[in-house]
């Protein structure tokens, strides 16, 4: 099985961008950690980042045909995008939402998530480890390994 891990705007700058909030690990580091963890459980991942809303929607559509689940950090689109919510609502497998920072500790505009109306679970404030924790949950949901 394949899990899609999708990342929204500005996450290409992870490691350099506001490290006091998002830490020093890069998105490449996150991808490597997730690839390793997935392989240990017999899963493969497709890891993507885009600053463009339409690109993220296109990947969700692609996931409909090829993925057992989606892990998504929609970044700022979390708080704005009905279109990404609608796309996720066309996907039948589990959807897990990840935020590196604890969005609830931050500005009030970050407290609302359109994506949470669809997500089966949300990780927030676990740093970049949140991706791996979400992946472990995905493995459990997929019934592949008792984690």
Residue of the chain from 3, 27, 45, 78 that contacts ligand DQA (CB under 6 A): 78
Instruction: Report which secondary-structure segment, H or E, holds 129.
Output: helix 129-141
The Cα angle at residue 112 between residues 46 and 138, in degrees rounded to 5:
30
Q: Which is nearer to ligand DQA, 37 or 76 (CB)?
A: 76
Provide the 3-class DSSP secondary structure of residue 5. strand
Residue 7 in the binding site for ligand DQA (CB under 6 A): no
CA distance 129 to 143: 22
Residues forming the active site: 22, 99
Q: Which listed range, 24-32, 86-94, 100-108, 139-147, lies at the site for ligand DQA (CB under 6 A)?
A: 100-108
Burial 34-52 (b: 16+ CB within 10 A, else e): bbebbeebebebebbbbbe
Q: Work out whether 75 is an interface residue with ligand DQA (CB under 6 A).
A: yes
In this complex, which beta carbon is closest to ligand DQA, that of residue 76 or of residue 141?
A: 76
* 70 labeled part of a ligand binding site: no
Question: Considering beta carbons, is residue 65 or 107 the nearer one to ligand DQA?
Answer: 107
- The one-character DSSP state at 4 is E
Q: Is 73 a residue that touches ligand DQA (CB under 6 A)?
A: yes
Q: For binding to ligand DQA (CB under 6 A), which residues are involved?
A: 10, 73, 75-76, 78, 99-101, 103, 110
């Amino acid at each position: 099985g394949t899990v899609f891990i999708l990342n929204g705007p500005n996450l290409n700058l992870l490691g350099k961008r506001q490290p006091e909030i998002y830490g020093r690990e890069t998105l490449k580091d996150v991808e490597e950690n997730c690839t390793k963890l997935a392989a240990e459980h017999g899963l493969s991942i497709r890891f993507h980042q885009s600053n463009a809303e339409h690109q993220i929607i296109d990947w969700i559509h692609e996931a409909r045909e090829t993925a057992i689940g989606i892990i998504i950090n929609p970044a700022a689109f979390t708080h704005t995008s009905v279109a990404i919510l609608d796309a996720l609502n066309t996907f039948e497998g589990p959807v897990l939402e990840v935020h590196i920072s604890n969005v609830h500790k931050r500005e009030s505009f970050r407290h609302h998530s359109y994506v949470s109306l669809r997500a089966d679970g949300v990780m927030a404030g676990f740093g970049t480890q949140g991706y791996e924790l979400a992946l472990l949950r995905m493995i459990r949901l997929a019934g592949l390994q008792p984690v």
